[in-house]
Amino acid sequence: MTNLALKPRAFETVLFIDGISRSGKKLTCRILSNMNNVDYFLYRSVFEKICYLNKIGAVSESVATSLFQLVVEEAIYYRAIGRDLNARPSDQTSILNAVDKEIYLNRSLLGDGMEAVDRFNKAGRIAAIHVHHVMPTAPILFMAYPQLTLVHVMRHPIDLAVEWLRRGWGSRMGTDPLAFALLVDVESKPVPWFAQDWADQFIGMSEAERCIESVLWLQEANEQGYQRLSEDQKSRVYRFPFEHLVTQTSRIITDFSQLLSTQPHESMPELLGEEQCPRTLSIEDQRVGLRVLESNASEEVIAHLKAASIAYENYWNMEQLVT
């Protein structure tokens, strides 16, 4: 088997924003992109899918690391020369939503090659990459970018499960042509990559049960991935709950400033107004969501969810929803 090699890095200052789907990454990305010198966040699904392929054993860690670094470097370079800019106004990833969007539009008029790389690096720009579910394979990111910063947003498992259920993710993966999840074949049945090791259970579950157990599996895999990191690598990871992001927004932004050695852009108050941050979260809304899940899932699955919820609330010192 041929071994792949890492290419020389053109960019060292890379920020990854990770978390489970519906955990609040887009809000996190928007806030971070409103910090001085942070490039507007970009998203390419291939980044995370390479990590998933390694997680399910389809490619080695070495191969995944080489491919991951290659496609990330290419995407940052294209951003640095003003190529492949998303100009679809309704997309949150659209460059039209960026602070000082003229910076990105003007790059296409400037030189490319190492001139563009040097211009990007000497300006102290921080490339911001939006990803889903890559913490389980976090060592890949660190092998590709040893000096990276990884921001990982977490969220209460009940809220995540409710959000997944609302979006039909208990049934769409494997049936909806527009659900672009990586699937594995289990006895001729398509199953999302994260359910590979418990496919028989997944296939036999209700939609709500699939959503609950998927969220809980991903949360556990995230913790395992984090614990695989060295202490030095962990010092480059900033983990926080979505609940603090929206209720203690100023503190989180201060943490971001210290983490990245920068300050909020003057437009930050306007963005926070649009996003209604800070705001109060209703525990009653969570109780309503829990009742919906309870009416559509077995007692065993609900017990698993409640145990994970108690652990989450205790870890982040939150008001107890589950007793």
Query: CB of 14 within 8 A of CB of 100?
Result: no
Q: What is the pLDDT of residues 42-98, one digit of tens each?
A: 999 999 999 999 999 999 999 999 999 999 999 999 999 999 999 999 999 999 999
Query: CB of 149 within 8 A of CB of 16?
Result: yes
Q: How far is CA 248 from the centre of its chain?
A: 20
Q: What is the pLDDT of residues 158-200, one digit of tens each?
A: 999 999 999 999 999 999 999 999 999 999 999 999 999 999 9
In this predicted structure, the answer to whether residue 322 has a pLDDT above a threshold of 90 is no
Phi, psi torsion values for 88, nearest 5 degrees? -80, 110
Phi, psi torsion values for 149, nearest 5 degrees? -120, 130
Phi, psi torsion values for 172, nearest 5 degrees? -70, -35
Cis peptide before 278 (omega within 30 of 0): yes
Q: How far is CA 88 from the centre of its chain?
A: 21
Structural element, H or E, at residue 47:
helix 45-55
Query: Per DSSP, which regions of the chain are E strands?
Result: 14-19, 127-130, 149-154, 183-186, 189-192, 237-241
Q: What is the pLDDT of residues 108-128, one digit of tens each?
A: 999 999 999 999 999 999 999
Query: CB of 149 within 8 A of CB of 259?
Result: yes
Q: What is the pLDDT of residues 272-303, one digit of tens each?
A: 999 999 999 999 999 999 999 999 999 999 99
In this predicted structure, the answer to whether residue 323 has a pLDDT above a threshold of 80 is no
Query: CB of 211 within 8 A of CB of 169?
Result: yes
Q: How confident is the model at residue 321 (pLDDT cuts 50, 70, 90)?
A: confident
In this predicted structure, the answer to whether residue 307 has a pLDDT above a threshold of 80 is yes
Please report the pLDDT score of residue 96 as a whole number: 93
pTM of the predicted model, to two decimals?
0.97
The residues near 173 (Cβ < 8 Å, ≥ 6 apart) are 179, 181, 183, 190, 192
* Alpha-carbon distance values, 52 to 12, 60, 136 (Å): 23, 11, 9
Q: How far apart are CA 151 and CA 16, in angstroms?
A: 6
Which residue carries 């049936």 as its tokens? Answer: 175
How does DSSP classify residue 55? H
Fold of 14-315: Rossmann fold (3.40.50)
